[in-house]
Structures are given as structure tokens and as C-alpha cells.
Copies of this chain bind each other. A is one copy, B any other.
Amino acid sequence: MDKKYTIKDIAQMAGVSKGTVDRVLHNRGKVSPAALEKINEVLNVIDYEPNLIARNLKSTKVYRICVLLPDPVFDPYWLPCVNGIQDAITEYKAYNVIIETHYFNPESTKSFLKVHETIITQSPDAVLLAPLFHKETVEIIKQYDELGIMVNTFNNQVESSSIKSFVGQDLYKSGRVAASLMNLILPKGQIAIIHIDESLKNAVHMQEKERGFRSYFEEKNLPDFSVTTLKLKYSNIETKLPAFINENPDLSGIFITTSKAYQIASTLFNLTDKKIALIGYDLIDKNVSFLNQGLVHFLIHQNQKRQAYLGVSTLVEHFLFRKDIPETILLPIDIINVENASFYVS
């Protein structure tokens, strides 16, 4: 029934040579109408699937995929991505694929553009990038487009018609998930949404989460809750956070929209008199440590490792196996507490 047919089989059945079958399969022309019909007849009856192993053995073409990633030295948030990419390298090492990671400084658009230039000189077949900077991203994607280089993005969703594919998470929904958990922890009180980030590069990111978070409380129409937004930087947490807490004695929960929950937790740790529920993002070591100490209640797992892995692997499989690249892959919003955290840290 499900016998595997080869080009040779088809040639035999149609009474032609495998060269002719090959020309039909690849629309290479130079085939007489008579031969074309005979072969098509056979193709309509059986269902032919080319042997991908044989194809990839023959092909000498080496595919080059470059990843444009913030240097984890500047922000450990990106560390899991390196592992995800490493997984992809291991998985596809048998094939003619070169996967290269190029780091840039997440605080510097210049660095971003400079690394982009380096990548251009490599003339890769595809690029996976974390589009931290909106304007610059649109710009460089235009360049890749002109050069016929395929582009995939992950982590940040950038609205641009030239971006065809994205791997990430629904940030709005993740904000809602955080809200639903906060609603469970707290019976009432004031909740602060805190955005901590050195630059504004994550602005959209954080706003989407805030929007989702607020939408939940607005929808549920809970009069016992109030939601406030606060923007902080690493340098001013130590002063501004205690001040904010003093000014808002009702404050009972904080939702941190970035991976910097540990910064809030360590500051709160010193203000021993307060019991405030914390919900943040990402299973970086410091966050997990505070989770285990009970100072952070929940973390939402953005699974950067898998994001990066999928970002690369969809590209690789596109080249090797002609698979379609999905427009958007949205990873599940994993809810992490102290009891299940160990299964997610990688």
C-alpha cells in the first residue's frame, strides 16, 4: 500500500528514463507532451514522496544561517537562547548547515547595526534576529529582503510587512495570565505594574503585558483592586521603590513586566515589614532563587531557549526539507511556581 516509490520506479511505469521523470518533477522543461502525460498519469495514481535523505546526501549546497542575538553578558535573559541554538546545531550537524551566532550589545543600536554589517559580508541564506530596535530592524530587514536573504524573528514582535515569520509569545495574554494569578493570591488591594528596563527598547513588549494585565481586572470589574503603573531603572530602585511603598500603604502586589523581578525582590527583602506578592517573568537563576525563598510567587516562563531553537529549526527545515515557515509560532504561557520550577530550568 504505502510502498515508497522512487524516480526509477516512476520511470519504469511510465516507460521513460529517470532523467525525463526528473525534468517533469522539477519543471525543467524539454519534455514532449506525450511523455509528460504518461508520467503525470503515473504520478496521479501513486503518491510519490522524494527521499529526503538521498536528496540531502547529494546536495553539496551548504546553507548558512546567522543568528543576531543580544550578548548574554549584558543581560542573562538571553543565555537560554544560546543553548537553544546549540541544540539546533547539534540536531542538524549531520546536514550541510552552518549556524552562526553573532552577538550585539542590547543597549546600543550602533552595535546592532555593526553586527548586521558583519552578517551581510557572510552572505547567509537566512537570518534569525531578536528585533530589539524597531526602526533599525525595519531598516536591516529591507536590506536582507533586497539581498534575497530570508528573515525570521523571535522574542519581540515587530509590526512590519516585510517580516514574514515570528516565534514568541502572546504578551497581551501573558499579562492576563499574570493578572489571573494575582487575583488568586490577593483578596484585594493595590497592585503595581512595574516596568524595569535600562532603555526603552522593550517598551512595546512591556506595554503589551500591561495592557493584558489591566484588561483582566477591568473585565472582571473588581472594585477591591486598583492598578498603578510605575517605571523604574536599576539605578533608582533602591530609592524610588521604598518611597512608592510608603506613599501607597495599600500596595499588596507587584507585577514586573521584565525579567528583573529579582531586583524588586531583593529590595523588598530589606523592607522586612511588608508582605507583597510578586509575579514576574523568566526563569533566570536569580528569579528562581527568590521563587524558592518564597519572595516571588509566580514566574511566567517565556521559554527563550525554545524560541531560539524553533526560530533556527524552522529555517533549517525549510531549506533541507522544503517545509513551510509558519507565520507565527506562539509558545504556551507556562505558569511557574516553586513546586514545578525545577522541570523548566534548563
Binding site for B on A (CB under 8 A): 49, 51-54, 56-57, 93-95, 170, 173, 176-177, 179-181, 184-185, 216, 330-340, 343-344
Contact = CB atoms under 8 A, between A and B. Distances in A.
A82 to B, nearest CB: 18
A177 B339 contact: yes
15 contacts: A51-B57, A51-B94, A53-B95, A57-B57, A173-B339, A173-B343, A177-B337, A177-B339, A216-B339, A332-B340, A332-B344, A333-B343, A334-B335, A335-B336, A335-B337
Contacts of A180: 337-339
Contacts of A337: 177, 180-181, 335
Given A53-B94, A180-B337, A334-B335, 16 more contacts: A49-B93, A49-B94, A51-B94, A53-B53, A170-B343, A173-B339, A176-B339, A180-B338, A181-B337, A184-B185, A216-B339, A330-B343, A332-B340, A333-B339, A333-B340, A335-B335
A338 to B, nearest CB: 7
Contacts of A181: 337
A314 to B, nearest CB: 14
A173 B185 CA distance: 21
A55 to B, nearest CB: 9
A315 to B, nearest CB: 17
A52 B173 contact: no
Nearest to A300: B340
Contacts of A343: 170, 173, 330-333
Given A53-B95, A95-B53, A173 B340 contact: yes
Nearest to A212: B339
Closest 6 CB pairs of A and B: A332-B343, A335-B335, A333-B340, A52-B94, A177-B339, A180-B339
A286 B338 CA distance: 29
B330 A335 contact: no
Contacts of A185: 184
Looking at A53, A181, A184, the one whose CB has the most chain B CB atoms below 10 A away is A53
Contact of A332 (B93, B173, B184, B334): B334
Looking at A51, A57, A185, A343, the one whose CB has the most chain B CB atoms below 10 A away is A343
A316 to B, nearest CB: 14
